[in-house]
Amino acid sequence: MKNGVKEPFNFLFISFGGEELGLQGSKYYVAHPTMALDKVHFMLNMDMIGRYNEERGIGIGGYGSAQEWPAIFKDVKEEGIKFFTDAAGKGGSDHGSFFVAGVPVMFFHTGGHDDYHKPTDDVEKLKANEEAAIIRLGLQLLDNAMRYKKLTYVGESK
């Protein structure tokens, strides 16, 4: 509760293990959820957001996984951060398990880099200011999504 107003949704923050081994943690959770998946508004996966590339921007996947995403994204912007959307809800990261289970998803990813999955991916290479801006962008999307009681899941096109 904030300022005497109760939020219409609960937030569940989860870290999954075994992504690189086939989404083991998220697949397990989807098979054994702590709440019914039809009660999950959507899944937001911030997979890699610390190595922002100004030329590429941040990719936001899952744009096609809910009918409401275009309206939710309308007028969302954050100074110094460019983003592009991708309709795909399925993918090699943990949001894919939720999408396959019928939950709308959003997937934030700044793209690969030379240090990806290597011990040279050191903390000094993170772009903290840009990462904070990406989180602010995500918060705008969360705020907009909470205006909808339920998002309408859109599965894969056949």
pLDDT value, residue 9: 74
Q: Which pLDDT does position 2 carry in this prediction? A: 63
Query: In the chain, which residues have pLDDT < 70?
Result: 1-2, 157-158
Predicted model pTM:
0.87
pLDDT for 63 equals 95
The per-residue pLDDT for 157 is 57
Strands (E), the chain: 43-48, 58-61, 83-86, 105-109
What residues does each domain of the chain span? 37-113+122-145
Structure confidence at residue 78 (pLDDT): 95
